Amino acid sequence: MNQKILIGLIVGLVLAAGAFAVIHHHNSAAASQESAGTSVPVNQLLTQAAQYEAQGNLLGAKQDYDQIINNYPDYDKIQDVQDKLGVLNIKLIFSPAQIPSDTISYEVVPGDSLGKLAAKYHTTVQLIKRANGLTSDVIRAGEMLRIWTAPFTVLVNKSQNVLFLKSGGEVLKIYRVSTGKDNTTPVGTFKIATKIENPVWFRPNGAPVPAESPQNELGTRWMGFNDPHYGLHGTIHPDEVGQQATEGCVRMDNKDVEELFDILPVGTEVDIQN
């Protein structure tokens, strides 16, 4: 090969390699800048949210978490933010904070009781008590109560074994659950028809199992659907939560089902999807 041509080829290859390196460096730098551009505002919002929580400003912290989820969905730790927001939303539900469109401030009048107020506003006695720091069922005329009035709904996704607590279209918290093995959990829209603390388990073709028994498959809470064969309940098998392992009911960690038990009134809609 002609020496001049060979030298020209070598020079061309060197220049091409240099150009590739420059382009690669530019793309890497751009990606780094994009990542940094995302992480900086997210970190600022996380820091501010933590400060708000430490100050007791739960609504301020919620706004920051919502902003991250809505504006930075590709943040590499978005699941952690969703978990933080879920915990915070439950704190808000059980707090005395007034939330526009979700709560009211109610003045107790003669003849009121917690049961009557819970029925009137479609909430639970437990939620009224927890939000107002009540240690007994006694309320007095003139007392001001914070009452949650926004309806809750529940969505269960069987393929992911998760339960979404929702209100007004907003997902408030996501829970891990167990659903039926061999696809035995029914699909459809149901309503919570019964609620029982520390339920007795009436096992098929066997003697009733008392609430305190370690063999009681229902755990600490039962929320039965308007289909009497199915419901939400606790568990004595926490290691199976997240799996398709039940006879058809939706099973949760006891601490989670106890949390929902205090929030969800009879009549709450439960939508179960594949």
* Annotated catalytic residue 233: yes
Catalytic residue among 26, 122, 229, 249: 249
DSSP-derived secondary structure letter, 263:
H
Catalytic residue among 26, 122, 229, 233: 233
What is the DSSP code string of the chain?
--HHHHHHHHHHHHHHHHHHHHHHHHHHHHHHHHHHHHHHHHHHHHHHHHHHHHTT-HHHHHHHHHHHHHH-TT-TTHHHHHHHHHHHHHHHHTSS---TTTEEEEE--TT--HHHHHHHTT--HHHHHHHHT-SSS---TT-EEEEE-SPEEEEEETTTTEEEEEETTEEEEEEE-BEEGGG-SPPEEEEEEEEEESPPB--TTS--B-TT-TT-TTTTEEEEESSTT-EEE--S-GGGTTSEEESSSEE--HHHHHHHHHHPPTT-EEEEE-
Tell me the catalytic residues.
233, 249
